[in-house]
Chain A
Amino acid sequence: MTIGSSVSIALRALSRNKLQTALTTIGMTIGVATVLTMIALGSGAEAAIEQQVRAAGMNLIVVTAGNYKAKTEDDGGGVVDHQARWDADSRVRQGRLRPVFSPQPSALSPRVVFAAFHPEDDPMEKHDHPTARQRLGDTEAGLGMAATLTPADAEAIRKLRGVQYVSEGIHENIHLTAGDKRWFTRYHGGDVSLPSIRRSWTFTSGRFFTEREQSKQAPVVVLGAFVADKLYGDVNPVGQQIMLWKQPFQVVGVVGSSSFMMTPAAGDDQFDAIYIPFTTIHQILNLSKLNDITITAASTGEVTRVSKDVTELLRARHGISMTSPDDFTVATQARQSLAKGGLRPDVARAVVGNVGGLEKVTLEQLGRTLDRATKTMTALLGSIAAVSLIVGGIGIMNIMLLSVTERTREIGIRRAVGARAGDVLRQFLVEAIALSVIGGLAGILLGAVASGIIAQMLRWSTSISPASVALSFAVAAAVGVFFGYYPARQASRLDPIESLRFE
């Protein structure tokens, strides 16, 4: 007996009882729809994370003025953050934290590790009120005072091989006034190339400042979307004037987030902020130094080399001897990008929580972390899908057992005209598979619709790949084989003459 005729017999048998077939396959349909939806959501999340990480700028290198991190021991992880120590010390003094003593005795003194962060170390730190913020470059954090970076340094870095964009950076908190409204926020002095570095930016109106405005030290400002909303609400701020340092600045644009994972909110560093050409700030405040220089490497693979070149260049430019430490800090990759790149907080938290010594994290490690998170999610979703598939499979098994009893006489007739036990087995097995595959196909449709709706409602990107459709289909067929085998074997084992006599 050919497969073709087994299939057509099976389909005809099923089409005779359409309602029963439909009811039986509902379980399968739901099961497969779950599988597909889960995969779609899972891989959608994965894709979103990947896109986020990429958008966050894994090729980012940030050079900060001053060096408040020096290694006490080269133990591959024992980085002591002097600032954190200072912070923690003060908190210990205030009785808020207790020092944790490391078990290994050190030659000098027991190494004290504080379970506390420099505010910058926790990219997810919530700032309840803008005034409560402490950021890199804040004078109270003692960093702005280490004035070692100059625009000339930035210019020199621009000429390095493998460097894509460079932006000078000056950051400070500021009170601004627009008409009768005041807002306490943060300004970023930057270079025209900043929008190219912050890839998750989109201009909701207007534009960024131009090369010309930058070189002319023009009093122009770009508002973060949150600031714009606070000051102007629904009115388009472009063309309006705001007062900074008692001087009028013209608003030329509003910058918002292009990532659905990041919505502008109070206290965030990018959109509750304003952007001004760093040259303008230098001129108005009569400054000549920078807080930091942000660099992107042309390719992520070159980040390590470029950051090494930057370090060497700056050491040479600052005339630092072989034995002296850097007077600047080069931070690369994950932390900076996660903290500043607009990564969704929970995603960033997952990454930060899973990777120790984030500043040393390589792309590969980050990838592995994401992999692990995805695997956990897949395992969870997989078990939900497994339960629905088992329920669906049992439904099929039940109907097939019933069908074997109902059609005992048919089995006898087929055996009498020469069907072998194997032919009968195959007929019922194919029928069970057909049932589950019909359910599976319906499930694929339902799953596609469901994940579409979920994507719409939760604004969560889902992706249905041909591979996931193929997998769902294969799973459906496998369930059919697994749960159809027992009834089919029962059918094939019936005695021919007794089946013929069966009423």
Chain B
Amino acid sequence: MPLLRVRDLVKTYQVGDVAVRALRGVTLDIHSGEFVAVVGPSGSGKSTFMHILGCLDHPTSGEYWLEDRDVSRLNDDELSEIRNRQIGFVFQGFNLLSRTSAVENVELPLLYGKSVSASERRKRALAALDAVGLADRAEHHPNQLSGGQQQRVAIARSLLNNPSILFADEPTGNLDSRTSVEVMDIFQRLKEERGITIVLITHEPQVAEYGSRIIAFKDGQIVSDEANSRQRIAVGELALLPAG
């Protein structure tokens, strides 16, 4: 049974008189443990699709089953709980709280859901920051961090609650090539070691090649969906790259 089952998903935005059809009938299954790379031109509906899969947005029509649950039947609190426990997001624009420190941003998911003590929260947040190489920036505020550092804070945050699915919208958009590979390494290890399902949205074809499956969007529809036979392995590449 697939982890995500999407049938004929449609999302239409009504802007004045104009109906913008961001998604026009997307059908797709994603299985547990897959590393799906989503590519497509700007405006093709990738982010919209990710928001719906992440239970943040509602489709105009179509079915979406997460595990064995019909998401359209879940109430707001249940959706919040799914986002908190099962799903991690890395947004295209980071979406960090600008007036709180990096470590507090990372802690955020632990504030909600099951109660975790403040010291435990801090400990786990620092560990997550350490994993993305930002242990020494814990107390910095987002505006004191570079774009790439902010992106890594966002990644640390998305992983804090041990999600079973990670949605990452352009996580390497602002990173240099070495850091990009490092992030891909993190993702690949999450998949291997924890069995986390990853949906990665990217513009860059070479980044998409770290995925085990590549889906191409165009005008709100899937134009190609195939397994990646030439998957790149980040660990091996890192060994070859000169140390940053």
Tell me, in angstroms, the Cα distance from A12 to B89 when the chains sit together.
Answer: 25
B83 within 8 A of A: yes
- With CB as the reference atom, state the residue of chain A lying closest to B80: A420
The proximity string for A residues 415-437 relative to B, scoring 1 for CB distances below 8 Å and 0 otherwise, is 11111111100000000000000
Q: Is A247 an interface residue (CB 8 A)?
A: no
CB distance from B41 to the nearest CB of A (A): 20
Q: Which of A194-202, A363-371, A406-414 contacts B (4 or more CB under 8 A)?
A: A406-414
Contact B96 A413 (CB under 8 A): yes
Bound together, the chains give a CA A2 to CA B112 distance in angstroms of: 8
CB-based contact A418/B97 at 8 Å: no
Q: A416 and B112: CB pair below 8 A? A: no
Judged by a CB distance under 8 angstroms, whether B220 is at the interface is no
Q: Which of B80, B85, B100, B113 contacts A415 (CB 8 A)?
A: B80
A328 to chain B, nearest CB (A): 81
The smallest C-beta distance from A412 to any residue of chain B, in angstroms, reads: 7
What are 29 pairs between A and B in contact, CB < 8 Å?
A: A1-B111, A1-B115, A4-B118, A5-B111, A16-B99, A409-B95, A412-B95, A413-B95, A413-B97, A416-B56, A416-B89, A416-B91, A416-B95, A417-B83, A417-B84, A417-B109, A417-B112, A417-B157, A418-B80, A418-B81, A419-B80, A419-B84, A419-B111, A420-B76, A420-B112, A496-B57, A497-B51, A497-B56, A500-B56
Determine if B108 is an interface residue (Cβ-Cβ < 8 Å): yes
Q: How far is the CA of A54 from the CA of B183 in the complex (A)?
A: 84
CA distance A336 to B70 in the complex (A): 86
Interface size class of A (residues with CB under 8 A): 20 to 34
CA distance A496 to B96 in the complex (A): 15
Q: How far is the CB of B75 from chain A (nearest CB, A)?
A: 10
CA distance A1 to B91 in the complex (A): 23
User: B158's closest neighbor in chain A, by CB?
Assistant: A417
Contact of A496 among B56, B77, B100, B161 (CB under 8 A): B56
Chain B residues within an 8 Å CB radius of A413: 95-97, 108
Taking the closest CB of chain B, its distance from the CB of A489, in whole angstroms, is 14
Complex CA–CA separation, A412 to B118 (angstroms): 23
B-chain residues with CB within 8 Å of residue A419 when the two chains form the complex: 80, 84, 111-112
A 1-17 binary contact with B (CB < 8 Å = 1; else 0):
11011000100100010
User: Taking beta carbons and an 8 Å cutoff, which residues of B are in contact with A?
Assistant: 51, 54, 56-57, 76-77, 80-81, 83-85, 89, 91, 95-97, 99-100, 108-109, 111-113, 115, 118, 157, 161
**Contacting residues, chain B, for A422 (C-beta < 8 A):** 77
Having A1-B115, A419-B80, A497-B56, one finds 19 other A-B pairs with CB under 8 Å, namely A4-B118, A5-B118, A9-B111, A409-B95, A413-B95, A413-B97, A414-B108, A415-B56, A416-B54, A416-B89, A416-B95, A417-B83, A418-B84, A419-B112, A420-B80, A420-B81, A496-B57, A497-B57, A500-B95
Chain A interface, DSSP helix/strand/loop, else mixed: helix
Task: Give Cα distance in the complex from A415 to B76, angstroms.
Answer: 10
> Given A496-B56, A497-B56, A497-B57 in contact, is the A421-B80 Cβ separation under 8 Å?
yes
Chain A residues whose CB sits within 8 angstroms of the CB of B76 once the complex forms: 420-421
Cα distance A63–B80 in the bound complex, in angstroms: 84
Query: What's the Cα separation between A1 and B56 when bound, in Å?
Result: 20
Establish whether residues B56 and A2, one from each chain, have CB atoms under 8 Å apart when the complex forms: no
Q: How far is the CA of A415 from the CA of B96 in the complex (A)?
A: 13
Question: Shortest distance in angstroms between A417's beta carbon and chain B's nearest beta carbon?
Answer: 4
Whether A2 lies near B95 (C-beta < 8 A) is no
**A500 touching B84 by the CB < 8 A rule?**
no
CB distance from B31 to the nearest CB of A (A): 24
Contacts of B83 in A (CB 8 A): 415-418
Q: Which residue of A is nearest B83, CB measured?
A: A418
Q: What residue in chain B is nearest A413 (Cβ atoms)?
A: B95
Distance (whole angstroms) from the CB of A126 to the closest CB of chain B: 70
Partner of B77, one of A2, A9, A421: A421
Output the least CB separation between B160 and chain A (Å).
Answer: 9
> Is there an interface contact between B97 and A423, defined as CB atoms closer than 8 Å?
no
A267 → B minimal CB distance (Å): 73
| Contact A500–B111 (Cβ < 8 Å) | no
* A144–B214 CA distance with the chains assembled, in angstroms: 121
A16-B99, A414-B108, A416-B83 known; A500 vs B91 contact (CB < 8 Å)? yes
A420:B118 contact, CB within 8 angstroms: no
CA distance A410 to B118 in the complex (A): 21
Taking the closest CB of chain A, its distance from the CB of B137, in whole angstroms, is: 19
Chain B CB within 10 A, most for which of A1, A9, A418: A418
With a cutoff of 8 Å between Cβ atoms, the chain A residues found around residue B57 in the complex are 496-497
Q: How far is the CB of B52 from chain A (nearest CB, A)?
A: 9
B128 CB to nearest A CB, Å = 13
